[in-house]
Amino acid sequence: MTETVVAAAGSGWLRIIIGLIVVLLFSQLNALFLVWLERKVAGHIQLRPGPMEVGPHGILQTIADGIKLVGKELITPRSADRILFVIAPVLVFMPVLVAFLVLPFDQHLIIRDMNVGLLLIFAFSTFSVLAILLGGWASNNKYALLGAIRSVAQNVAYEIPLLLSVMSVVLMTHSFRFSEIVAAQHRFWFIFLQPVAGLIFFIAATAETNRAPFDIPEAESELIAGFHTEYSGMRFGLFFLAEYTNMFIVSAVAASLFFGGWQGPFGFSLGLPGLVWFLIKVYILLFVLMWFRWTFPRVRFDQLMNFSWKVMIPLSLANLLVTAVVVKLI
Amino acid sequence: MNEYISVLIMLFLAAATAAGMIVATSLIGPKIEFADKMEPFECGESQIVSSKRRFSVKFYLVALFFVIFDIEAVFVYPWAVLFKDLGWFGFVEMMIFIAILTIGLIYVWRRGALEWE
């Protein structure tokens, strides 16, 4: 069915416009769903039911929360840098949607199958760090500033193992194009050929999205809320939306690079369409991210930095070298 | 049509959505201002010190290392795509490049620049 829709949309402007609107709606709905799922998972891990009152099993809880957020006052602190304070939430939200342009939901369900797809995602995901730094600095609050600085230090430290682990996949496929990377995993998913790279990618991605156990930038027990301490109402909501959309993106990239994207295991599709396979994988990875959060205690900042520079970077370099040698010899 | 125009459209659409949400809340939400409320948040206390103060130089060091290693990554990316075409020449070249960077990492490590107290 998706093929007919895609064929009807063609490849020109119409396809882009339809794609962008669908992506916009999907990312919002997905964020609402993920917030509910996170609370539900947290509840069940701690042996309590989680949200139950609004809708069946609390499924409408986040919609109620969203309506509440829209009705809240937007507070700008007196000593804040007004312009930067106002544009930071918009800037943090903008780049996360760009990644959806190149994500391969199915063989034909890619809005734009660019030859630099992977690079585009990493280029734009780095933007949100700048927006976080802007927001934290402009708040003129020391908790916000500390959170912002920590966020930048953490993001730059984990950016390198992230890029290097992806490189070993690129070495094997000779392409940044998502459709080619996924197609190359027709028989064996890259998680079997590149287990170390897959592990490094997933850990670094957890750190990049500021998720526990790497949620030092917003460690609520020491920094209140970190970089978004001063933000209220929908401005805070935008940071929140961006965080959950980012989680989806890193899981989607991990699913496409290491878990075969829209393809079933070992070339068996079991009659399920590619889109379903892709979403199953992404939501399993998202569940693992949430599982992490409610299982591991938060790491200390020195542990965080040492782990990146002394373990992840040497390991990813070694993995890259071994991959290069093996690919060369085969 | 240029491939990257869609990126621009997406950025514009995202900015419009975000700005729209904020404008909507600023129209609906209450607006009550008084002096204490507009103070920076400080767990109920008045702010004692300004937030514009010095922080650990360690953060600058991390930024410097990042620049060096990120440039490494930038160099390795095109190499990874053209790995087949470059043959043994490209392979040996890149091994030398990565070896130099690894020596740099070992040097930084041994000098204790990666230690956080």
pLDDT in tens, A67-118: 888 888 888 887 778 888 888 888 888 888 888 888 888 877 777 778 888 8
Residue B95 has pLDDT above 50, yes or no: yes
Distance from the B112 Cα atom to the nearest Cα atom in chain A, whole angstroms: 11
- What does the pLDDT average to over A109-133? 83
Q: Check CB contact under 8 Å for A320 and B98.
A: yes
Distance from the A36 Cα atom to the nearest Cα atom in chain B, whole angstroms: 21
Which member of B29, B59, B84 has the closest CB to residue A72? B29
Distance of CA A310 to the CA centre of its chain: 24
Question: Which residue from B minimizes the CA distance to A163?
Answer: B73
d(CA A70, CA A237): 9
Half-sphere exposure of A324 (CA within 13 A, CB side): 27
* B5-110 homologous superfamily: NADH:ubiquinone/plastoquinone oxidoreductase, chain 3 (1.20.58.1610)
Handedness of CA A5, A175, B13, A93 (dihedral sign): positive
Judged by a CB distance cut-off of 8 A, whether residue A148 touches chain B is no
Stated pTM of the model: 0.87
- What does the pLDDT average to over A180-199? 85
Of residues A1 and A329, more confidence is placed in: A329
Interface of A with B in 97-126 (CB under 8 A): 97-98, 100-101, 111-112, 114, 119-120
Helix axes B58-81, B83-110, angle to 10 degrees: 160
Domain ranges of chain B: 5-110
pLDDT mean across residues, chain B? 80
Domain ranges of chain A: 80-329
pLDDT in tens, A211-229: 878 887 777 777 777 778 8
Judged by a CB distance cut-off of 8 A, whether residue A139 touches chain B is yes
- Percent of all residues in chain A with a pLDDT value above 70, rounded to a whole number: 96
Judged by a CB distance cut-off of 8 A, whether residue A84 touches chain B is no
d(CA A145, CA A133): 8
Question: Which residue from A minimizes the CA distance to B32?
Answer: A73
Please answer whether residues A87 and A94 qualify as being in contact, where contact means their C-beta atoms are separated by less than 8 angstroms.
no
Q: Check CB contact under 8 Å for A174 and B83.
A: yes
Element (H, E) at A33: helix A13-45
pLDDT band for position A287 (50/70/90)? Answer: very high
* Cis ω before A213 (30° cut-off from 0): yes
Q: Check CB contact under 8 Å for A112 and B6.
A: yes
